[in-house]
Homo-oligomer: A and B are copies of this chain.
């Protein structure tokens, strides 16, 4: 039994586990056959059901997570808009990557048969949601939306930090699936201490979507890779999200940058995977001072005790390093057992380079590290010790002489490069990329946005297959109206 949020989440029994997995395997076949309009209808129906139960779900999520209800209502909107956007994407059909090469008897070096290729669902997908976005990265979040859009059943591992929300959220999703006509077994939830390992190793599971810590995620990724039949593991493991302030930007708008940095850092009590964890500022700038002055002393309630303990451990470890000085001097002792006050430290780029293992660590909660640098060359040298990251940001000026080189260098270690903005806030749109070199993710795909669907698909080619035996997406008449590539040309 998992118990980290005041209320226990009882373990799924072996019988129930078998029922869920076996139903998912059965559902996979009929879901794979369903035409895009049917899948879209299912996604919209789930969105409607979650919206309809929002006023019941939000207080449960708030009780589980200490997150404010306003923020959670926005998250429900994000979640259901995402489901509806994926429904639109499924209908548009380019995600199926349908390609037709008609037979070419004159092809060199050998005649070519009729070949038609399309993506098909991999089969049941295991989804491990995160605790910091109970809705948008939870049971009905991005991974579930992606898998359902692809035509894959989902078996979600419930997060122990959501004991109140889990059953109600799962019921809302289930209602939507039933109303939309999805087959039994399209969605199931399992919970328990060791059930995640079991799920990743289950031969009926064909792919995994995971959002969480590097330690937990890597352990599961290793299990997925070690299976007799390995499966793709799409993990989002953690990120440091460095922000680089050029000398010209610091000169132009130190106050604005300091204020916006704090706003982004403290959003969601600093419990975002896109939190700007490192802020690089010129040595002579006043940003460190401005941040120190402006930072609030108000406490923030964290998601659960585990995150709070880890916040203390990691922030203390960094702050106690001889090359780090505190910018804040907040007492933590007088707080309740879920709350903390912001902690901000400062070090310099040379120290960061020399102590990268000790100082570059993701720390969930309102903790940030300011890093002063003496030259742009030093900044570039520091980049070589940065790990892969979801985002990297540059604050510069209109005619900044260093902007191009910094942005270019940062694209090598980040999935999203930001100019004069902040990394928190991840729009669900076609161009979104939420992922980056390891440990940000362990894949070459995104976990947010429509292209996330590609993770749960594999290609199948049909050679010389008669029209009546082809999937509808590949027959000449194109009854699904898909964008297709025919004999090399997009149509």
Residues of chain A having any CB pair with chain B under 8 Å: 29, 74, 77-78, 81, 94, 97, 99-101, 107-110, 112-113, 115-117, 120, 122, 221-222, 225-226, 229-230, 232, 388, 398, 403-404, 407, 411-412, 414-421, 425, 427, 429-433, 435, 437-439, 442-446, 451, 455, 457-466, 468-469, 483, 485, 487-488, 490
**B-chain residues with CB within 8 Å of residue A120 when the two chains form the complex:** 411
Assess the A465–B427 pair: CB atoms within 8 A. Answer: no
Assess the A427–B113 pair: CB atoms within 8 A. Answer: yes
Known: A222-B226, A457-B444. A101 touches B430 (CB 8 A): yes
Given A418-B463, A431-B461, A444-B455, 10 more contacts at CB 8 Å? A77-B108, A94-B490, A97-B451, A120-B411, A398-B466, A407-B462, A415-B460, A419-B465, A432-B461, A483-B490
Bound complex: CA A130 to CA B36 (Å): 39
Among candidates B115, B412, B414, B462, residue contacting A427 with C-beta atoms closer than 8 Å: B115
**Minimum C-beta distance from A400 to chain B (A):** 9
Copies in the complex: 2
Bound complex: CA A100 to CA B419 (Å): 16
Assess the A459–B451 pair: CB atoms within 8 A. Answer: yes
Q: Could you pull out 15 A-B pairs where Cβ atoms are within 8 angstroms?
A: A29-B412, A74-B109, A81-B108, A101-B429, A113-B427, A115-B432, A116-B431, A117-B430, A117-B431, A229-B439, A419-B462, A420-B464, A433-B459, A444-B455, A444-B457
**Minimum C-beta distance from A153 to chain B (A):** 14
Assess the A110–B425 pair: CB atoms within 8 A. Answer: yes
Going nearest first, the 3 A-B pairs with the smallest beta carbon separation are A225-B225, A433-B461, A115-B431
Bound complex: CA A117 to CA B461 (Å): 28
Assess the B437–A458 pair: CB atoms within 8 A. Answer: yes
Assess the A461–B415 pair: CB atoms within 8 A. Answer: yes
**Minimum C-beta distance from A86 to chain B (A):** 13
